[in-house]
Structure 1
Amino acid sequence: MIDRPGSLDRDDAIEVERVGDGWRLTVYVADVAACVTPGSTADREALERRRTEYRGGWALHTMLPRPMEAQLTLAEGRPCAAIAIRMQVRPDGTVGRVDVERATVRGLVALGHSQAADAVGDRSHLLHEVVREAAAVSEVLLARRRQQGALALYDLLSGWATSEDGVVVRLASFERTIGYKIVQECMIAANTALASWAAERDLPLLFRNHSAARVAAPRQIMLDDLDLAFTDGSAARLEALRERTLMTLKAAEYAPFMGGHWGLNLPGYVHATSPLRRYPDLVVQQVISSHLDGVDSPYEDDALRAIAEALNTGARQDRDAERESRKSSAHSSARRGAAAASADYTGLDAQAFHALLKRGCKEDIAGAALVAETARRAADGQLTSLDLQLVLLVAGGSGWEPGRSACLDVIAVAPERAVSILSGHAQVNALPPVEFTVQTFGQPPNAVFFAQASWPAGESAVQGARRSAPTKKAARHQAALSLLARLADLPDPSRDLAQPVPEATLLPAAMDGAGSGESPSPISVLNEYQQTWIITGLSYSTGAEGPDHLPTFTCTAQATHDGQAVCVSATASTKAVAKTAAAASLLERVDTARAGRAG
């Protein structure tokens, strides 16, 4: 029996024997169902508790009453009633014959994880042979699971492993030995074998089903990422992978049908080896015991379904409570850190500093040390767009002004970031999007673009300055920078990048920006005309003439309107301008024809 030191609820034991070039692996499970019958007081209370809860390796409260637990636990020095799951394990890790039967197990020996590791390495240890064989069988079982695509890895030296669901977890200090791997692999093998054994006999059990979210990476990519992270051994990389697996791998749930297990890559799986500690294991054992006794299952399908729902609901509530507790604790810690007048934050990684910054900005806590570190990281280019958005558009008060100024200075050098920051802020806070008005003056290729950004705010709008540039994109960037400065209540660093031209040269056909408060482009209008059958057969073809370093592009646009083919061409120094000009001419021809027909 390998368990944490001082365990009082030992509900499984392992026996391994060499048979030829393979092994006979037997997992003995305490026969709890012999004393806890379905519907009894102990059974109802066990369902209500659902599981034994541990903290720091010790039980806070037990699923079964302590006296009953002491009576049913596997223990040294006495014969113990058990359910035996016997498996033939071949050299390649595949499992052959499986037998399930009642047994009385004698000669039990209790080991801690480190004691099991000592036995493997010490040839003079009384249990060296049996524990060494247990270690050997665990290695071939693990290799077989990996070969079949299970998300399974251990790094016992640094204390990281994957759970049976494939989530990266941190191991307790006492688990970081070969003893932990022996227990994990033998129990997974027993639960897998029992699921298949029950399915072959059409026994209704509580199966442990698992799936991945739609946003999860393909299995092979996740396997490659696990290999890379565990090989690298970086705590930061492993922590990031842990967060990703938590987000993309759904929590496994119980159901009265075999739905498959994604993390293990198995068609069926059950929890059956911890009936003293987990209620679903007890239910599975009650069904198995009834079958072994030749009587009907004590549970109808509806009863199993109700039990599964109660267990799943309770597990979700536990996860929500734990998440809220961690969040509250993290917020309190971040709040204290953000308020510090003097502290050294230079050693914090990006994720830890973001948590601190988020709390400081949202609660307007402008600790001198936090504001100074924010300004330093901004100048060094270490802040993300989300960090910049928090400082410029969430943080308030004069205390944050040095930090806001430093952030805006960074964006002034790369004004394209202003657009993404404004868009991100709108999405995060469910605000209306920023509106851009863009106008074009002059003839291509010497056109000048003017842009102005505004943000709807009730009956009025907050507007930035109108800015010019030789390209539409550059004009929008400067306009967004101006609006961002206005919203952050800081001096405007935006500027005009082109000289204005007389408004008499305005080209109405070059006004565009559909969906952003701007006039739609002629290309967009023609597409809408085609979708509504005003025109048909809309097409564009472009050719180039002249030397490679200075080509001239001619675009021909054609369509059929009212049974008549309309074809126009336009020439410019770029494909885009030529296409826009051709579309504008074609649109003018179509609109003129439509107006004449209406008249």
Structure 2
Amino acid sequence: MGKDTAVFVTIDSSSTKDVDDAIKISQTDDGFEVVVAIADPTDLVLPNSPIDLKAREKAATVYVRDHARDSMLPSVISEKKCSLTAGKPRSAFVFTMRLDSELQVLDFTPSLQTITVAHRLHYEDIPGIAADAEHPLHEQIACAVRMAQALMATRRKRGALALYDLKQFLMTDEEGNLQQLTSREDTVGNVLVQEMMILCNRLFGDYLVKHNIPAVYRNHEATLAAPPVGELMASIESLLFANNADKAVASDRLHTLLGRAKYEPVAAGHYGLSLPVYTHGTSPLRRYPDLINLRQLKAHLSGTDFVYTQDELWAITSQINDTLRERHEARRESFKETAARKAEVMEQAGKLRQMDDSMLGMAVRNVRLSNLFGDALAGEICRRLKTGAIADGVIDRLFMETDRALIPDNLAQAMSEWLFKYTTKAMHLVLFGTSLNLFSEYSVECTTVNGRFRAKASLVMANNQRITSQGKGARKKEAEQIATAILIAKACNLPHGGHTEVATEVDTDPTPATQAAQTLTSVPVNSKGALLEFCTKHRLKTPTFAVSTMGPAHKPTFVCSASMAFDGRAMKVSSGPCDTRKAAEAKASHLLLEQLTMAVSMAKKSIPTVATTNPVGAVQEFMQKLALPMPDYNFVSHSETPPIFECLMAFKVNGRAFAHSARASTKKDAKTMAASQAWAALHA
């Protein structure tokens, strides 16, 4: 197909009105030419104008499904004057990219042009056009589909979180999050557009760096607990493509490990895409960072002063990140409430067996809010526990977030039987409980007696009770898992008869917070004042409170939830039903103050300063004692002859990030040297 036969087309959903990108793709003698045209609103939206300041405040258009509910720009601009409407000449930023037959980039050239879109296509049109040799766009679209699939495969080989499944209508977005689409046709069309935009944004980011243009980058950092991308992809695919595929569990696992992307005026890399530089510039009608970058590019191309300085970009991106984070959290809470109501309706209708794992998790959440565990719900959970067909999210809520007093004895017995059948899950529950500040100071030690292993485990509960247990096994790991399972059983007050004895030690000099925890029925009414005073003293962000009313109008009860962020983690508590609004706020404040007191105490723990001849083990033992994720080690081979390996080590302690690297002739020596640096840094 020659370049002269290719035309600009747009590909969107049928409901899209703000069309801001068009593509023109052709196969050349030495590879491919991809031309992406982007709508240009810069002449109509002037920097710091009322329209611009409103757009900055919104940060991005809010969509409900495919419909714009709250547009970033006025519709007269985003849907009419600047939208790339077929048959209408439009001013546009045009990115011309040449790639060879192996998809290696040969050239990237940005320019300002007037273009006219020839055809408007919808996602569902793409497979049909690609398969119809008689269609006038067949050659261009078929080439685009092949190229998009090859680009995704290439990204995956490079280490990106990239997959799509035409049977389940699934694909990952640029951050690696799973997207559920409605049909095979939609999936193919979405993949095509996404791959072209990722390619364009990647090369645009490289261009901004190369030409020293102050700009906004899209940075994405995984959590320290995230495994290498290859392992994570294998884990997700095993969940998605197994006979009992569980999309909700796969999605939850990704969300837990990926962390959130953010905008910054420095290029810090993108984990989901496995790229050192990535930016956004292909949606200026919908995203404010794209508008910023295109303004900066326009100044560069025209030889005029940049619109923004680096310092100004720091302030703007901070505002954008806050807006997007708050919007995300509000949407997530709204989804939770909707799901909780749906779960309640299904439970009342006796449709418990039809509940998927997310609905079942919401039903358990409702137990905490209503202080009532129905017999039917308990029976259904017992059934799933006995068959092992229950998701981690349900287990987490059941074991760590549900008051034991609400759990009927038959369910408690089933929970115990499940725990000791799947002892490998015990450590997950310890980590989850630690993230909620229910536990601290978890440790486990193992010895051998007559060829068998004996493990001793311990942890400290939020009320300063120290629990210890012993487990025996033919293997070290088995003994440690049994000991840890016994800890969980004790902490949750579950039956553990027939297992190794559990001992409890209580702090002989409990703190005021401990005393309060042991007498929750007498929570002081000034707990909210004490909480706010504590936050002020420790320079913490003020908590947020939300009170809901339950029960009949003549005798209402009140439930207060209090939440805040500490050390990068979200803390949230609920008072449970109370007779008055003030009592609910006091109880929630007391519970949150208790968690904060423990968290601040842990954050102030001193780091041991003893020397060590085994720095790898010393660092790991230190992290284990604080119940923190183990360090992440990655290796890079710099030379085969002579062999040179570099070890990259990263971890976090109390919100402080540690990153160290070392080179040596073996991986083991490089790892030891990197750990030695880390151990020294912990003492600094």
TM-score normalised by the shorter chain: which range applies? 0.5 to 0.7
2:273 paired with 1:303:
no
Match of 2:363 among 346, 356, 362: 356
Report what 1:27 is aligned to: 36
Question: CA 1:77/1:238 → structure 2, altered by over 3 Å: closer, same or farther?
Answer: same
Query: Counterpart of 2:262?
Result: 253
Which whole-Å CA distance do the structure 2 matches of 1:426 and 1:17 have between them?
55
Question: What is the 5 A alignment of 1:439-588?
Answer: none
Cα 1:124/1:366, change in 2 over 3 Å: same
Residues 270 and 458 (structure 1), Cα distance of their counterparts in 2 relative to 1, 3 Å cut: closer
Give, in whole Å, the separation in 1 of the partners of 2:56 and 2:21: 21
Mapped partners of 1:21, 1:148: distance in 2 = 23
Write the deviation string for residues 40-84 of structure 1: whole angstroms up to 9, x where unpaired.
222111111111111121111211111122101111122111111
Deviation digits for residues 450-471 of structure 1, max 9, x if unmatched?
xxx9x99999x9x9xxxxxxxx
**Pick aligned residue for 2:113 from 74, 82, 103:** 103
Q: Is the 8 A contact 1:361 1:395 kept in 2?
A: no
Q: Secondary structure at the match of 1:99?
A: strand
| 2:275 equivalent among 245, 259, 266 | 266
Shift of 1:239: 2.8
1:169 aligns to what? 179
Choose which of 87, 97, 102 in structure 2 pairs with 1:87: 97
Contact 2:22 2:38 in 1 (8 A): yes
| Residue 72 of structure 2: aligned partner | 63
Partner residue in 2 for 1:317 = 326
TM-score after normalising by structure 1: 0.67
Percent identical among aligned pairs is 28
Q: Which amino acid aligns with 2:107?
A: R
Q: Within the alignment, does 1:400 sit opposite 2:386 as a pair?
A: no
Q: Check whether the contact 2:399–2:492 (CA below 8 A) recurs between aligned residues.
A: no
In the alignment, residue 27 of structure 2 is paired with which amino acid? R
Residues 1:370 and 1:275: Cα distance change in structure 2 (over 3 Å)? same
Deviations 1:234-268 (A, max 9, x none): 67344322211111112111111111111111121
Residue of structure 1 in register with 2:619 after alignment: none
CA contact (8 A) 2:92 2:113 kept: yes
Aligned to 1:369: 376
Which amino acid is the alignment partner of residue 367 of structure 1?
G
Q: CA deviation at 1:330?
A: 3.2
Aligned counterpart for 2:216 among listed residues 206, 225, 228 = 206
**1:244 aligned to 253, 259, 271, which one?**
253
After TM superposition, give the deviation of residue 220 of structure 1 in Å: 2.1
**TM-aligned CA deviation for residue 283 of structure 1:** 0.6
* Helix, strand or coil at the partner of 1:242: helix
Corresponding position: 1:345 with 2:355: no
Structure 1 range deviating more: 424-433 or 261-270: 424-433
Contact 2:148–2:191 (CA under 8 A) maintained in structure 1: yes
Q: Secondary structure at the match of 1:319?
A: helix
Which of 176, 179, 186 is the equivalent residue of 2:189?
179
Q: 1:7 aligns with which of 12, 16, 27?
A: 16
Report deviation, 1:140: 2.7
C-alpha distance in 2 between matches for 1:204 and 1:240: 40
- Secondary structure of the equivalent of 1:115? helix
Residues 117-160 of structure 1, C-alpha deviations (whole Å, 9 max, x = no match): 22111111121122122223223322322222111111133111
CA distance in 2, matches of 1:271, 1:278: 8
CA distance in 2, matches of 1:367, 1:119: 54
1:516-546: CA deviation from partner (whole Å, max 9, x where unpaired): 89xxxxxxxxxxxxx9xxxxxxxxxxxxxxx
2:144 is matched with which residue? Answer: 134
Instruction: Determine if the alignment matches structure 1 residue 327 to structure 2 residue 365.
Output: no
Q: Is the 8 A contact 1:152 1:166 kept in 2?
A: yes
Supply the AA of the counterpart residue of 1:365: L
Q: Which residue of the partner structure matches residue 438 of structure 1?
A: none
Higher Cα radius of gyration: 1
- Which residue matches 1:585? none
Which residue among 256, 266, 284 is the counterpart of 1:275?
284
Closer, same or farther in 2 for the Cα pair 1:362/1:380, shift >3 Å? Answer: farther
Compared with structure 1, are the counterparts of its residues 413 and 193 closer, same or farther at alpha carbon in structure 2 (3 Å cutoff)?
closer
SS for the counterpart of 2:33 is: strand
Within 1, Cα distance between the matches of 2:205 and 2:187? Answer: 28
The Cα shift of 1:381 comes to 7.1
Equivalent residues of 2:19, 2:83 under 8 A apart: yes
Q: Tell me if the contact between 1:375 and 1:406 (Cα under 8 Å) persists in the aligned partners.
A: yes
Distance in 2 between residues matched to 1:157 and 1:335, nearest whole Å: 31
- Report the Cα distance in structure 2 between the residues aligned to 1:307 and 1:458, rounded to whole angstroms: 43
Report the secondary structure of 1:38's partner residue: coil
| 1:337/1:356 contact within 8 Å kept | no
Contact kept, 8 Å, 2:218 with 2:261, in 1: the verdict is yes
Judging changes above 3 Å, is the alpha-carbon distance between structure 1 residues 124 and 63 closer, same or farther for their aligned structure 2 residues? same
Instruction: Name which of structure 1's ranges 138-147 and 95-104 shifts more when overlaid on structure 2.
Output: 138-147
What is the CA-CA distance between 1:346 and the residue it aligns to? 4.0
Residue by residue over 1:558-589, the C-alpha shift from the partner in whole angstroms, topping out at 9 and shown as x without a partner, is xxxxxxxxxxxxxxxxxxxxxxxxxxxxxxxx
Are the counterparts in 2 of residues 422 and 484 from structure 1 also a CA contact under 8 Å? no
SS in 1 for 2:194: helix
What corresponds to 2:166 in structure 1? Answer: 156
Distance 1:202 1:215 in 2: 34
Quick check: 1:24–1:89 contact (8 Å CA) kept in 2? yes
Secondary structure of 1:110 counterpart: strand
Shift of the 140–346 alpha-carbon distance from structure 1 to 2, 3 Å rule, reads closer
CA distance in 2, matches of 1:136, 1:412: 48
Paired residues, number = 475
Q: Give the SS at the match of 2:405.
A: coil
| Cα contact 2:439–2:462 (8 A) shared by 1 | no
Deviations 1:87-113 (A, max 9, x none): 001111111111111111124310001
Letter in 2 for 1:359: N
Taking the aligned partners of 1:51 and 1:486, their CA distance within structure 2 comes to 44
Give the 3-state SS of the residue equivalent to 2:19 in structure 1.
Answer: coil
- Structure 1 pair 33–396 and aligned structure 2 pair: CA distance change class (3 A): same
Q: Provide the C-alpha distance between the structure 2 equivalents of 1:107 and 1:420, rounded to a whole number of angstroms.
A: 57
1:287 aligns to what?
A: 296
Amino acid at match of 2:375: A
What secondary structure, in the 3-state scheme, does the structure 1 residue paired with 2:366 have? helix
Give, in whole Å, the separation in 2 of the partners of 1:41 and 1:388. 47
Match of residue 562 from structure 1 = none
SS of residue paired to 2:230: helix
Q: Is the 8 A contact 1:15 1:27 kept in 2?
A: yes
Does residue 225 (structure 1) correspond to residue 235 (structure 2)? The answer is: yes
Asked whether the 8 Å contact 1:361–1:396 carries over to 2, the reply is: no
**Contact 2:386–2:418 (CA under 8 A) maintained in structure 1:** no
Question: Residues 356-407 of structure 1, C-alpha deviation per residue, up to 9 Å, x if partnerless?
Answer: 345336643232322333555566677899589759983437x935545666
Separation in structure 2 between the aligned mates of residue 101 and residue 344 of structure 1, nearest angstrom: 59
Work out the CA distance in 1 between the residues paired with 2:304 and 2:63: 36
Can you give the 5+ residue segments of structure 2 that lack an aligned partner in the other structure? 1-9, 443-448, 451-457, 468-478, 508-609, 611-684
Q: 1:264 to 1:495 in 2, by over 3 A?
A: closer
Which whole-Å CA distance do the structure 2 matches of 1:406 and 1:238 have between them? 26
Q: Provide the TM-score with structure 2 as the length reference.
A: 0.59
Report the 3-state secondary structure (helix = DSSP H, G, I; strand = E; otherwise coil) of the residue aligned with 1:14: strand
Displacement of 1:354 after TM fit? 4.9
Q: Distance in 2 between matches of 1:179 and 1:495?
A: 56
